Structure 1
Amino acid sequence: MVKKKVIVEIRAPKVPESRLMAVANEITSQFDIEGFKLDKDYKPVPGNPPDHLAASFEASNETVMLVRGEIEEGKEKELESRPNVIKVWTDARIAPTYDCDTDVSKGDLNRVARYLGANKIWAKGIRGKGIVIGICDDGVNALSRDIVIDGWSPEKCSKWGTEGGHGNMTATDVIGMCPEAKIYDIGVLKNPPGTTPDVEGAISNAIAGFQWAIEHHKRDGTPQILSNSWNSYQEEWAPDYARDPNHPFTRKALEAIREGIIVCFSAGNCGEFCQEKDFRCGSDTGSGRSIWGANGHPEVITVGAVNIKGELAGYSSQGPAALSSEKPDLCGITHFKGYNDPDTGTSAATPIVAGVIGLLKCARPDLTHAQVKAVLRKTAKDIGETGFDHNSGYGIVQAYAAYKLLIKKTKPKKPE
């Protein structure tokens, strides 16, 4: 029988963190379904219940607990019929958003900073001091330990700060815009030795990584920003994640926003204007078929890609997204010399935007996710069709214009 990786959402009593695994084992031991195997290396992740169940959970002093495992395909409904099981979800395959074009660099990080006006914010003494940005990727080891100061890795994977690849690029691009920021290396795309080679990451690890960030933010207010340069390329990889806003990871991303963290996602690299399309996109390319799951949720900041000539990257995924008609929100810059020559894809564009947000958050520490999203959309440089369009959103992020608008809003009004 074909095995399927799943996330099982269960109803559980509220217990201390030290008791999570024991309670999960007790509940899952009652499933008694041949063909289901619990992953005992995965630490159960607490979560908020779906909105329609919130009142009953509150009344019974219960919580959601997420565990993962494998089950024979076709037995999901049988598992859902067991007591305490709310829903069985696909453990969606996720992957970094690489470019499908090997074009030459158009400038470097310094030129990108000048193009966006970040250098003008630096000139005012605002360079990101006190800001921590979580890089949710495959690891960061190319930056010094006084920059990469903490992190999280899945069980049986390399420790944070010791391994890097795609994450080195995204972290470098963040620091290129927000030079005094610190980094948390959150290894959501890491896999333990022996993992199937064509699997680059799992949504269950993203859930656990986001939970780590939420708990850290509750303790000391950091990270202020999470940068995510990954996505699920095809609807068929996990249809329930692609289109259902109640998927546990999508709810976890919203939980991070409610906690006070600003969350950015790449739109993806499955746009219709790239001649050589990424094979991982399959037939899911172009408008309405290229932004899936949390990457396109109405509340997150969804980032497309342009170069510093203002030209749309032909592979940049196009809205509407599966979960929102008005996506992407705006574009960052790609195709510049950074960690690589060039740094490419919406993978590079997203940390550019996250770095800009770091500067704005440094200038206005009280800035919320909703406020920064509104300011970035309002001050973006329009390209393509007038106003919003499904290729570039509201346009290209403009760091200095956004900063000026924020400062203007905070100046006290003169007495009449």
Structure 2
Amino acid sequence: MHRHIGKRTVLSVATLLALAAGAAQAQQNDPLYRYQWHLMNYGQSVLGDTKPVSSVDLGIDDLHDYNIRGKGVVIGVLDDGLEIDHPDLAANVVPNGSKNFFVTATRGEHDTGPNSFGQDGHGTAVSGIIGAVGWNGIGVRGVAPAAKLRGFNFLVTTFFLDLGPFGSFSRNDQATDANIRYAWWDGAESKDVQVSNNSWGGMGPWPDAFSENQIAAFERPMSATRNGLGMIYVKAAGNDFNSVNKDQGAVKCNADTKLRNVGCMQAFLDPRNNLFNVMTIAAVNAAGRRASYSTPGAALWVSGLGGESGVQRQVLLDQGIAPERIDQVLGPEAFDPAIVTTDLAGCAIGLNTNGLGLNRLDSSRSAIDASCNYTGAMNGTSAATPTVSGVVALMLQANPKLTYRDVKYILATTARRVHPDQPAATAADGTVLVPGWTRNAAGYFFSNWYGYGLVDATAAVTRANNFKSLAALVDSGWQRSAAQPAAIGNAAAPARLSIPVAGIRRVESVQIGLTTDYAVAAPPVNQTSSPLPLSVTLVSPQGTRSVVVPASMAVASGGAAFTLDLAASNAFLDEDATGNWTLEVADIPLAAGAASAGNLTSFKLRVLGR
């Protein structure tokens, strides 16, 4: 079921005829389409100094030609706004259908153009990846070029500003639970939204408190949307593989964490990434590998295409930037292709202005497109997420009756296993901290870098067309271990607590929580984070092991005992849940035979499936 890059799912004539009444011949072209390697990649030259690896794309293939373009699907974009009158978006924006959380004397309720500072083009770039108008003679094409867009500009500045290898910057003045609820299910403008794109996130270098009541307060109304079918919530994992989220001020990722290659932060640290209704999305670059910034973790579901930075060295040199300065500031991945999409119109604001140009598309001096209405430098899981949202729109056009669980299942079971030789992350003594790809007991491959792999649009639409919906959801509820606390030893002697589960024959997702009295040491003087010494692994009754919390991830704890209210693992798809689920907590730095520094005091588990 999982294919390597280069292998295709080809639609049969019968399937094509079933999906569309007939092919629409393109009357006009989109001039920048050739640079959109994420849509169609044959190894062509694009923006950036390296070429994409052929076939590293979404597998759209002939879908658009056969009118599978997201028609009839409404997508909500939660971001810093979308430019509703952008020339390449306006025809797909629902008239008077967006929510402006920053109504002013000059900006109306439905004007979701850029936020009050007028500088951020993030939401407009995201919207173009999803639903830029196709075949209109200008610009770019969306993954779902016939889908309708509603904007929800609940961010005062970019909550997740993607800086690729430089990390991310966050600010969430208006990213309140009330505004999220409004856009996710409660607001008038959200009632007909079928897909919710969330290219934002919030996490710090220590697990947040998130109660069972909070989980239920989100998941119950989310499941009730679309008349009980459930809206499809697609959310960015984060951009903190090499950095700590910048909203944490002076906190920086420590050198040991970077050396171990486990990722400075983990996707579970944003509690909403662990909700059952949410698909958390990682980013793949144009070489078919984890994008340099993409936040890893067991909470991932699948990957989209986020690219790197799209910088062209000669363009910088032509602007008088010294070569040594370029090499000092930029890593090699900066010159790999980014995503080409819409930008705020004009050259005064947005990602593409008449300032410093990163590639041949930038500025009014561009011979490719002088309008500055587009950018070739969009990246991050913020870019990968809308590629998945667009694919979901294609699936819902093919089969509008799909539930949110159906969509998740189809995407996971049709994803392409990129980077099949992904290496394990190891400690100095060779102890495996996080494995590469792991095959679960049901035969599916899962990776903490990629989830179930890169989405494949043609395979997903083919399966969606005649998909028989999954059986009714079975929820084990929160179950708790009745055993006494267990001493935390080294990797050979971890603390273990188990919980029996019955009545679920096919797992879809697992959520856990735990407490310890293990006090994680505060970072050393002159350091703002330290490598976590604890490893948390969940073992299924069938023997599949999933690293939920890897040792060596960056933490800034101040000496607190390690406690985790909520983390998800999606590594057990379709396994039989019957039997004992075991949590293992190990102190990786402890030498063999060393005394425990603490205890695993409680363990809770919730299994969802059918």
- Which residue is 2:203 aligned to? 233
- Which residue is 2:305 aligned to? 333
Q: Structure 2 unaligned segments of length 5 or more: list them.
A: 1-31, 42-56, 115-120, 132-141, 158-169, 258-262, 307-337, 343-374, 423-435, 438-444, 469-610
Distance 1:408 1:178 in 2: 20
* Residues 79-109 of structure 1 deviation map (CA, whole Å, 9 limit, x = unaligned): xxxxxxxxxxxxxxxxxxxxxxxxxx99733
Work out whether residues 106 and 308 of structure 1, in 8 Å CA contact, stay in contact via their aligned partners in 2.
no
- Which residue is 1:140 aligned to? 82
2:283 maps to which of 305, 308, 328: 305
1:140 shift after superposition: 0.5
Tell me: CA distance 1:391–1:190, structure 2 relative to 1, closer, same or farther (3 Å).
same
1:120 shift after superposition: 1.8
Say which is worse superposed, 307-316 or 401-410, in terms of deviation: 401-410
Work out whether residues 139 and 160 of structure 1, in 8 Å CA contact, stay in contact via their aligned partners in 2.
no
Equivalent residue runs for 1:248-327 within 5 Å: 251-252=217-218, 254-259=220-225, 260-271=230-241, 274=242, 279-280=246-247, 282=251, 286=263, 289-291=266-268, 292-320=270-298, 327=299
* Residues 265-298 of structure 1 deviation map (CA, whole Å, 9 limit, x = unaligned): 1111112xx3x66533645783774431112323
1:170 shift after superposition: 0.7
Structure 2 SS opposite 1:134: strand
Structure 1 SS opposite 2:446: coil
Distance 1:211 1:406 in 2: 24
Work out whether residues 77 and 196 of structure 2, in 8 Å CA contact, stay in contact via their aligned partners in 1.
yes
Tell me: CA distance 1:400–1:139, structure 2 relative to 1, closer, same or farther (3 Å).
same
Q: Does 1:223 align with 2:223?
A: no
Work out whether residues 328 and 390 of structure 1, in 8 Å CA contact, stay in contact via their aligned partners in 2.
yes
1:261 shift after superposition: 1.0
Q: Does 1:112 align with 2:2?
A: no
1:216 shift after superposition: 4.6
Distance 1:330 1:160 in 2: 33
1:144 shift after superposition: 4.2
1:404 maps to which of 462, 471, 475: 462
1:302 shift after superposition: 0.7
Distance 2:40 2:75 in 1: 18
- Which residue is 2:129 aligned to? 173
Work out whether residues 288 and 318 of structure 1, in 8 Å CA contact, stay in contact via their aligned partners in 2.
yes
- Which residue is 1:189 aligned to? 155
1:364 shift after superposition: 0.4
What TM-score do you get using the length of structure 2 for normalisation? 0.43
- Which residue is 2:65 aligned to? 123
1:156 shift after superposition: 3.8
Tell me: CA distance 1:287–1:297, structure 2 relative to 1, closer, same or farther (3 Å).
farther
* Residues 91-148 of structure 1 deviation map (CA, whole Å, 9 limit, x = unaligned): xxxxxxxxxxxxxx99733643552222421122211111110001110013544322
Work out whether residues 399 and 466 of structure 2, in 8 Å CA contact, stay in contact via their aligned partners in 1.
no
Work out whether residues 305 and 331 of structure 1, in 8 Å CA contact, stay in contact via their aligned partners in 2.
yes
What TM-score do you get using the length of structure 1 for normalisation? 0.61
Distance 2:412 2:195 in 1: 17
1:304 shift after superposition: 0.5
Q: Which amino acid aligns with 2:448?
A: H
Q: Which amino acid aligns with 1:376?
A: L
Distance 2:100 2:223 in 1: 21
Structure 2 SS opposite 1:251: helix
Say which is worse superposed, 110-119 or 227-236, in terms of deviation: 110-119
Work out whether residues 154 and 190 of structure 1, in 8 Å CA contact, stay in contact via their aligned partners in 2.
no
2:407 maps to which of 372, 378, 394: 372
Equivalent residue runs for 1:335-354 within 5 Å: 335-339=338-342, 340-354=375-389
- Which residue is 1:66 aligned to? none
Say which is worse superposed, 358-367 or 302-311, in terms of deviation: 302-311
1:330 shift after superposition: 0.8
Work out whether residues 107 and 336 of structure 1, in 8 Å CA contact, stay in contact via their aligned partners in 2.
no
1:233 shift after superposition: 2.7
Q: Does 1:246 align with 2:213?
A: yes
Tell me: CA distance 1:113–1:188, structure 2 relative to 1, closer, same or farther (3 Å).
farther
Q: Which amino acid aligns with 2:182?
A: A
- Which residue is 1:151 aligned to? 98
- Which residue is 2:110 aligned to? 160
- Which residue is 1:389 aligned to? 447
Q: Does 1:202 align with 2:175?
A: yes
* Residues 160-198 of structure 1 deviation map (CA, whole Å, 9 limit, x = unaligned): 34422211011001011000011001122147xxxxx95
Tell me: CA distance 1:380–1:234, structure 2 relative to 1, closer, same or farther (3 Å).
same
1:370 shift after superposition: 0.3
* CA RMSD of superposed structures (Å): 3.0
Structure 2 SS opposite 1:209: helix
Return the structure number with greater helix share. Answer: 1
Tell me: CA distance 1:123–1:199, structure 2 relative to 1, closer, same or farther (3 Å).
closer
In the comparison of the two structures, how many residue pairs are matched?
Answer: 284
Work out whether residues 98 and 189 of structure 2, in 8 Å CA contact, stay in contact via their aligned partners in 1.
no
1:333 shift after superposition: 0.3
Equivalent residue runs for 1:13-32 within 5 Å: none
Work out whether residues 304 and 392 of structure 1, in 8 Å CA contact, stay in contact via their aligned partners in 2.
yes
Distance 2:211 2:34 in 1: 40
Work out whether residues 131 and 358 of structure 1, in 8 Å CA contact, stay in contact via their aligned partners in 2.
yes
Tell me: CA distance 1:278–1:293, structure 2 relative to 1, closer, same or farther (3 Å).
closer
Work out whether residues 264 and 300 of structure 1, in 8 Å CA contact, stay in contact via their aligned partners in 2.
yes
Distance 2:74 2:33 in 1: 28
- Which residue is 1:324 aligned to? none
Tell me: CA distance 1:152–1:128, structure 2 relative to 1, closer, same or farther (3 Å).
same
1:361 maps to which of 384, 396, 411: 396
